[in-house]
Amino acid sequence: MHRLNNKRILVGITGGIAAYKSAEMVRHLIKAGAEVHVIMTSAACEFITPLTMQALSGNIVHTSMLDPKAEAGMGHIELAKWADAVLIAPASADFIARMAAGMGDDLLATMCLVTQAPIYLGPAMNQGMWMDAATQHNCEVLRSRGVTLFGPDKGFQACGDVGPGRMLDPLTLVEMLAEQFSTGALAGRNVVITAGPTQEAIDPVRYISNHSSGKMGFALAKAAAEAGASVRLISGPVHLPTPDRVERIDVTSARDMHAAAMQQTSDSDIFISCAAVADFRPETVAEIKIKKDPDSPNEGMTVSLVRNPDIVASVAAKEDRPFVVGFAAETGNVIEYAKDKRKRKNLDLIVANDVSDTSIGFNSDDNAVTLIGADIEEPLPKCSKRQLAGQLIEMIAQFYSQSQEQQSQAETTQHTEESA
């Protein structure tokens, strides 16, 4: 159930006696840590009141596309974009038919046309309606479009019939929904991630930087948030939108990023250093733009460089350090250099990345890496950075959990020895 932590669930309720079960379903969603908005059809309002659902969800209930108060709070288009998932339960035979036909004749049907979030239906109807050829055809149409059906269940029905068509138990529906999300392995954890390049000023208009796009770091931030973590993203200058539910801290130089990282990791559980930080900066920065000497057209310019602070090593050296993951962007001897970097900087894990391959290097949408630890060397094949980020976050969460268990065991052993 922790997989639903921080998830945004749009609950749809259609007309049917099973609508009373939706109240318990929403209660379970809230208890699991989800944020819930509810849409009710006019028929649903005949079985259970919007006020009940508002009290349980903590949000105004949406019943009409033409409600100016609801639109002022969260417009129906924004509501469709807001959701991580749409769960419609009970889903009546009538609604399933209208949805299969692509109709947009009420707010809930319109949401299904607009949203890009996955849609899950909990059918609830008389057993004869469920087994009717038209209903079965409509369900197959929706399945072909990527809609998932949870149930229905079999058993005694309110009309007196016995057979398939009952809405699943509310808790079962919530558990099935939770299974659709990532493991929630970082639920309740604080994660700090650095991303993008840094810019080291030469004068007011020139700087030293690199080709990092920030895509990998931003993908990791999104994946960590989806895994239930509270995420702070320290980003160098990039042109990327902030991932949903991620706190972004913009910086420019390596020293700016170092200061932000030291501050933000004071209460973090995991630190992932994904930024491509400039190792050096100009020793001095000109106050005005440096001009070419017109009398010496062939004259060059010498820039004296000094070393920047090592961000990941500084965090790893903190007394109350988080679990530290570094990145090694190399163009040759990738694995060897990464292993050496991990040991020298006292990192828990390091991700080795061959940036000489232009198909997976800077600015690419794809990547292929090797995750390296004290007892692991795990290649992760080429895939999209979004997919790769999900894999890395799951593995990082696993190793973090193992390190916490080892630390706890060591503290228990020490306490026992001191008490002996």
* Residues with active-site annotation: 159
Residue 282, φ and ψ in degrees, nearest 5: -60, 140
Q: Which residue's entry shows tokens 């309720």? A: 13
Contacts of residue 399, Cβ cutoff 8 Å, sequence gap at least 6: 323, 348, 349, 373, 376
Number of H helices, E strands in the chain: 14, 19
Tally Cβ neighbours within 10 Å of residue 234.
Answer: 30
In this structure, what token pair is assigned to residue 253?
């130089």
Query: Residue 298 is inside which H or E element, if any?
Result: none
Write the single-letter amino acid at 296: S
**Centroid of chain to Cα 103:** 31
SS3 402: helix
For 380-389, the CB contacts below 8 A with 24+ separation are 385/215, 385/216, 385/219, 386/219, 386/222, 386/223, 388/216, 388/219, 389/216, 389/219, 389/220, 389/222, 389/223
Enumerate the H helices of 157-295 as residue ranges: 170-178, 215-226, 254-264
**Rounded to the nearest 5 degrees, what angle is found at the Cα of 180, between the Cα atoms of 391 and 142?**
125
Q: Are strands 280-282 and 305-307 parallel, antiparallel or unpaired?
A: antiparallel
| Residue list for the binding site for CTP | 279, 289, 309-312, 327, 341, 345
d(CA 370, CA 337) in angstroms, rounded, equals 12
The H-or-E segment that residue 122 falls in is: strand 119-123
Nearest alpha-carbon partner for 223 in 312, 325, 147, 152: 325
d(C-alpha 64, C-alpha 62), whole Å:
6
What DSSP line would sit under 314-366, residue for residue? HHHTSTT--EEEEEEEESSSHHHHHHHHHHHTT-SEEEEEETTSTTTSTT-SE
Which two tokens mark 395? 């593995």
Question: Do the beta carbons of residue 274 and residue 367 sit within 8 Å?
Answer: no
Which residue ranges make up the annotated binding site? 279, 289, 309-312, 327, 341, 345
